[in-house]
Amino acid sequence: MTKSSTFSTAAYGGEGWQQRNSSHQNDIGNIWGDCGLENEYGALKSVILHSPGAELDASQDKPDSLQMLETVDSGKAGEEHAMLVDSYQSHGINVHLLDRIEPVSPNQMFCADLFAMTPHGAILARPASVVRAGEEVGMARGLVGNNVPILRTLTGNATFEGADMIWINADKVLLGQGLRTNREAAHQIGGVLGETGVELIPVDMPYGTMHLMGMVRIVSSRLAIGWPRRTPHRVVTELREAGYQVEFIPEVDDFEHGKAFNFVTLGPGKILTVAGNTAAIRFYESLGIECIETPAIELSKAAGAVGCLTGIIKRE
């Protein structure tokens, strides 16, 4: 019995072969899930969160050893986080929750740190501290489980946290270099962004600060908010050159500033912010910004709030 030739079969490029000609970008929202962003102010469509639980009880002993400011009541923090989820859902935003895979890091809830989104998929973080090492694995599972492509996982000695990356526009990205994100990460991220025609602008963070997200926030295509005396000079000049008006929040103590900057832009001129920051909210409203409040008194004791807790998957 003789076998026929495989030469002309589809598997080997014969007449039945169908060439894939669509780009990866065309696969987003079709083969891959609907994800991506290229600005910081477009209408928010999808986020990923981690609901905290008993892992926060570890803060009862030495909160500073976990990079937290105070002891955190896990029950109260869980209630506040549930209200955060409700706030997003009530505004029509799709909320994805990370599965709990034991053991859970006490800082796993700070999802903004664990990846940064691009129009083509996510750049996975590699947290800088031993305390948070490995949290990126849980986020990788969450992203892949929601069909979000991961463009890059950092290698070597690179450390990167997503809250250090801010989109100026579709062509330029700011990256804070300092405690959490190092030069090797900037080199690797610059490479992957450069492949899609995006320029990465590394800026040095002031000593004693955490993330670039805590220095500057963008609320519309024309307006950004800065922290006086801490926002890096080049950040302000780049934003102004891109057409933004940069306003500086009134000078108050560091703790109030931290909460005041811990907001998420829901859409142009509309933010979800920590409830009770009366002075900051009054300032934002004077700029024409609509402020939606959600409680985060207990969550803030862990050195983060609304902005830090929210991993953004999709903006218009």
Written as one string, the DSSP assignment of 146-177 is TT--EEEE--TT--B-GGGEEEEETTEEEEEE
> Which of 176, 159, 174 has the alpha carbon at shortest distance from 125?
159
Q: Does residue 12 fall inside a structural domain?
A: no
Which residues, 6+ apart, have CB-to-CB distance to 152 below 8 Å?
Answer: 123, 124, 188, 189, 192
Q: Does residue 1 fall inside a structural domain?
A: no
Q: Does residue 298 fall inside a structural domain?
A: yes
What pTM, to 2 d.p., does this model score?
Answer: 0.94
Q: Could you give the C-alpha distances from 192 to 28, 111, 183, 198, 311, in angstroms and in order?
A: 17, 21, 15, 9, 20
Count other Cβ atoms within 10 Å, centred on residue 82. Answer: 11
Q: Does residue 9 fall inside a structural domain?
A: no
CATH number of domain containing 211: 3.75.10.10
> Which of 13, 18, 113, 118 has the alpha carbon at shortest distance from 67?
113
Q: Does residue 10 fall inside a structural domain?
A: no
Number of separate domains in the chain: 1
Domain hosting residue 237, numbered range: 31-315
Q: Does residue 222 fall inside a structural domain?
A: yes
The pLDDT profile of the chain, 316 residues, written as one tens digit per residue, is 455 789 999 999 999 999 999 999 999 999 999 999 999 999 999 999 999 999 999 999 899 999 999 999 999 999 999 999 999 999 999 999 999 988 999 999 999 999 999 999 999 999 999 999 999 999 999 999 999 999 999 999 999 999 999 999 999 999 999 999 999 999 999 999 999 999 999 999 999 999 999 999 999 999 999 998 899 999 999 999 999 999 999 876 655 666 888 999 999 999 999 998 888 999 999 999 999 999 999 999 999 999 999 999 999 9
Q: Does residue 62 fall inside a structural domain?
A: yes
Q: Does residue 90 fall inside a structural domain?
A: yes
Which residues, 6+ apart, have CB-to-CB distance to 45 below 8 Å?
Answer: 34, 93, 94, 313, 314, 315, 316
> Which of 105, 17, 28, 54 has the alpha carbon at shortest distance from 313?
28
For residue 291, is it left (φ>0), alpha (ψ between -120 and 50) or beta?
Answer: beta
